[in-house]
Every structure is written in structure tokens, then in C-alpha cells.
């Protein structure tokens, strides 16, 4: 959430930045100008009334010291107090309305973020690796998975519906190997502390990271039918997490951390659950866009002056996984129109998929600055100094399912088998090749 004082003092800049995001300032800010004018008027009136009250109180004191009748002035002071209390309540109510407006306003993109309407205006920052050159026509992962007997979308649809997957044999083993490999690299080499959070969170947690109230339809809501009204939610409701970013960031909600502890770097494996609202017809083949998928998430809490550096480090940590697996990728700086609601600057890592002849997002690494910290009330305190909101960052390190399918497509062989990347061989018990599952018939 943006700082209320900043928005008041920089309303024209905020409006410009919202337009850069292809948002309508009038729609998002609503009555902000009118409410701010009313609040200023109330504050001015309050200051005048308080000055009058203080003046009368001094006169009352002087009269009483002189043993003179001050009842008329006392009555006037009493009346002023009632007016002041009423005006203060009105000013506080306006403040509440203005803060409610701020909950639906996205973060403002950094100046270096390119202005654009969609992913077409994203800017390639770097490219790594050599795109494999096959002497046969490479297949997409859904064909490979089915032929090997390790990916079963049909039975997943039978038991759960569309956008779910069942992994068999080496398919399940490869998924598990990737999770272990990613966590080990991030904790042993990159300095993250592993944490295993709950996979369900309350509404306050989703508000803290920016999913609520704007993106409720993208989430799976665990509803208590009693007293439920569609479109409504309560603080103690439970939701399936869309990403580990939510529970891990909220570990420190409503806390003030000692500056000496920063930066804090956490890595978490969790399943993730997304309704994929609005994605009907997109990526209907394979496992690109699922209701349930696995991810290893990286989350950082930093001092404001260090968040840019930590953002670069976090992105490099995610890239290091792709490089260790020898998967070609590119880093993209997202434009304003493609940057997420809570982010001020985002890099997407896109892995090359030869079976589809395109790059696909496999990690999104974002700096939220103080946006989430303000919503979740996460502060830090320097020695002898005042507390302030810290900066939060997060990124996928990596999306496990998309890494799984990238390995199938990049490491496929002419005979239909899959070569295991060298870095994963120890996690596959020494196994170097995925072959068709014996006796398997999907």
C-alpha cells in the first residue's frame, strides 16, 4: 500500500504513474481529492477550535484564581469540546475512507521500468545458454510425458478436473529431485534459511501481500457456508496459498525487526493453488497453467537502501538454478503494463522450450519496496533510531513444474528417452536416463 502522506503530497505524480500502468486514476483514486479537501478543511477547523478552547481554558483559570464566576466560559469550553470531538471523528472517518481507497491502488513502478501496455513492451536484459540443436523434430512435454508413462492428465481430470496432473514413476521422482536440488542450492550456497509454512492462510495474510481485496477471484477460498455471502470474506477465513510468498512474508506481520537481523533471506517449498480466473482457453495443453503446482520461493526482508542490490542477488540466485541445469533462458525487465500489482520492478526469467519453440516464464523476481510491509505492518528499528517500514522482495527459485517440463523438452533424445541433467543425477539416485515406464499404459 502506498503511504497516505506521499499520495496527498504527490497526487499528480501518482496519477501519472497509474496512467503508465494503463490504469484509470479517476477510477482508482475516486473521491480522493474531494476527501482530502474535506479532511484539510476539518483539520483547519479543528486547529481553530482547539486554539479557541485553549484560550478560553486560560481565561477560565484566570477567573477562578481571582474567585470570579467562570461558569459561562466553562459551558462554552464544554460545547467546544463536543464540537472538537465530533469534528475529530469526522476527520478520522475521512482518513479511513482514504486509506480504503489506497488498498486498491497498485504500487508505483520505478522510473527505469519501461512504459508499456503489455508483455510485448517488456525489455530483454540478458540471454544465457545455447539453444539445443536437434537432428529430429523435438516434441512438447505433454507428448513426451504420455509416451514415457510419467504424466497423466486424463486421470487427473477424472479425479479433480481440468488443469491438474498426475505424475507416475520417474515423473514423480524428477519432481521430488528438483525440489530437493533447489532447496539445497539456495540454503547451502546462496545463504537462505529453509522454512516450511502452512499451505492455508487467513485473509489478513493475503491482504498483507496484496492479493486481497483486488484478486479474490484468482484464489481458492475455503468457505464456511454458515453466514457466507458471495464476494465477502472475513479476517479468520482460510484460503489455499497462491504462492509461498504469502505465508513467508507474513511470518513477520505486525512485528518490528532489529536492523542487525537484516537482510533476512528465506526459501520455502510449497504447493501453490490458483483458480486461473480469466485464463480460459490459455495453455490448455500440458502443465504450463495448473490449478495446483509446486514451487520453491525466495523471500527477502531488507533495509530500504539495500533492496536494489538484494533484488539483483535474488534474481541471480534464481538464474543460478537454470544455469546449473544448463537450461537456456533470458531475463526480461517487465514494462509498467505487465508489472504485478504489488511490485515496483520485476524481472521475469523465461526458459527456452524447444518442443514449443518459445521462451516461457519460469520465475518472476520482484522488489515491492515498502508496499507489502506497509500493508502487513512489518518494520525494522535501527539502534537508537525510529522504526520504519522495511522492503520486501520475492522470486521463484524456481517453479518446479515448469522446470520439470523444460528438462523434458530440452533433454529429450531421438529415441524418446530423457537425459537427466548432471546436477540432478545424485538426486535421482544415480539414474541418468528416463525411459518408458515398464508395463505402463496411460
C-alpha cell at 47: 486547529
Residue with cell 455471502: 229
Q: Is 369 a catalytic residue?
A: no
pLDDT digits (tens, 9 = 90+) for 357-367: 999 999 999 99
Q: Which of these is catalytic: 38, 176, 361, 437?
A: 361
The pLDDT value recorded for residue 230 is 59
Q: Is 275 a catalytic residue?
A: no
The pLDDT value recorded for residue 228 is 59
439's CB contacts (< 8 A; 6+ apart) are none
Domain locations along the chain: 4-102, 119-434
Q: Which of these is catalytic: 21, 163, 274, 331?
A: 274
The pLDDT value recorded for residue 376 is 97
221's CB contacts (< 8 A; 6+ apart) are 233, 237, 239
The pLDDT value recorded for residue 382 is 84
- Tell me if domain 4-102 and domain 119-434 are identical in fold: no
Q: Is 364 a catalytic residue?
A: yes
The pLDDT value recorded for residue 442 is 46
The pLDDT value recorded for residue 136 is 97
Question: Which residue ranges in the chain fall short of pLDDT 50?
Answer: 442
Q: Which of these is catalytic: 163, 360, 375, 402?
A: 402
pTM over 0.85: yes
- Residues 344 and 112: their CA atoms lie apart, in Å, by 10
Q: Is 330 a catalytic residue?
A: no
- Residues 204 and 361: their CA atoms lie apart, in Å, by 29
Element (H, E) at 141: helix 141-148
Residue with cell 499451505: 199
The pLDDT value recorded for residue 280 is 63
Q: Which of these is catalytic: 52, 59, 253, 289?
A: 289
CATH number given to 119-434: 3.30.930.10
Q: Is 255 a catalytic residue?
A: no
User: Among the CATH numbers 1.10.287.40, 3.30.720.200, 3.40.50.20, 1.10.300.10, which is that of 4-102?
Assistant: 1.10.287.40
Residue 205, Ramachandran bin (φ over 0: left; ψ between -120 and 50: alpha; else beta): alpha
Q: Which of these is catalytic: 205, 363, 364, 396?
A: 364
Amino acid at each position: 500500500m502506498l503511504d497516505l502522506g506521499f499520495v496527498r503530497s504527490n497526487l499528480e505524480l501518482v496519477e501519472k504513474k497509474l496512467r503508465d500502468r494503463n490504469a484509470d486514476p479517476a477510477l482508482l483514486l475516486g473521491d480522493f481529492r474531494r476527501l482530502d479537501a474535506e479532511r484539510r478543511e476539518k483539520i483547519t477547523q479543528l486547529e481553530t477550535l482547539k486554539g479557541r478552547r485553549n484560550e478560553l481554558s486560560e481565561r477560565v483559570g484566570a477567573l477562578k484564581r481571582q474567585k470570579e464566576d467562570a461558569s459561562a466560559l466553562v459551558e462554552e469550553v464544554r460545547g467546544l469540546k463536543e464540537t472538537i470531538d465530533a469534528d475529530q471523528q469526522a476527520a478520522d472517518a475521512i482518513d479511513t475512507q482514504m486509506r480504503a481507497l489506497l488498498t486498491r491502488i497498485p504500487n508505483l513502478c520505478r522510473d527505469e521500468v519501461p512504459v508499456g501496455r503489455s508483455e510485448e513492451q517488456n525489455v530483454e536484459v540478458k540471454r544465457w545458454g545455447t539453444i539445443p540443436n536437434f537432428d529430429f523434430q523435438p516434441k512438447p512435454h505433454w507428448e513426451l510425458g504420455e509416451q514415457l508413462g510419467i504424466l497423466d492428465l486424463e486421470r487427473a481430470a477424472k479425479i479433480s478436473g481440468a488443469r491438474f496432473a498426475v505424475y507416475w514413476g520417474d515423473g514423480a521422482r524428477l519432481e521430488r529431485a528438483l525440489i530437493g536440488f533447489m532447496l539445497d542450492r539456495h540454503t547451502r550456497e546462496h545463504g537462505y534459511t529453509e522454512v516450511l509454512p502452512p499451505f492455508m492462510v487467513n485473509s489478513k495474510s493475503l491482504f498483507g501481500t496484496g492479493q486481497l481485496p483486488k484478486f479474490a477471484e484468482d484464489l481458492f477460498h475455503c468457505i464456511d457456508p454458515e453466514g457466507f455471502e458471495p464476494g465477502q470474506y472475513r479476517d479468520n477465513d482460510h484460503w489455499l496459498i497462491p504462492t509461498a510468498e504469502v505465508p513467508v512474508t507474513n511470518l513477520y506481520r505486525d512485528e518490528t525487526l532489529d536492523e542487525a537481523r537484516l537482510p533476512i533471506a528465506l526459501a520455502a517449498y510449497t504447493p501453490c493453488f490458483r483458480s486461473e480466473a480469466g485464463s480460459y482457453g490459455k495453455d490448455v495443453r500440458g502443465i504450463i497453467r495448473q490449478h495446483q503446482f509446486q514451487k520453491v520461493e525466495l523471500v527477502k526482508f531488507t533495509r530500504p537502501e539495500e533492496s536494489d542490490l538484494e533484488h539483483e542477488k535474488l534474481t541471480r540466485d534464481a538464474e543460478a538454478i537454470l544455469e546449473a541445469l544448463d537450461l537456456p533462458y533470458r531475463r526480461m525487465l517487465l514494462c509498467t503494463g505487465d508489472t504485478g500489482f504489488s511490485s515496483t520492478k520485476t524481472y521475469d526469467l523465461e526458459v527456452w522450450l524447444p518442443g514449443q519453440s518459445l521462451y516461457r516464464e519460469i520465475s518472476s523476481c520482484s522488489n515491492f519496496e515498502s508496499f507489502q510491509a506497509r500493508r502487513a505492518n512489518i518494520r525494522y528499528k535501527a539502534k537508537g533510531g525510529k522504526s520504519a517500514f522495511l522492503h520486501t522482495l520475492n522470486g521463484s527459485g524456481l517453479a518446479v513444474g515448469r522446470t520439470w517440463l523444460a528438462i523434458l523438452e530440452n533433454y529429450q533424445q531421438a529415441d524418446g528417452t530423457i537425459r537427466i541433467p548432471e546436477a540432478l543425477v545424485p538426486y535421482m539416485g544415480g539414474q541418468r536416463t528416463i525411459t518408458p515406464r515398464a508395463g505402463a499404459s496411460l
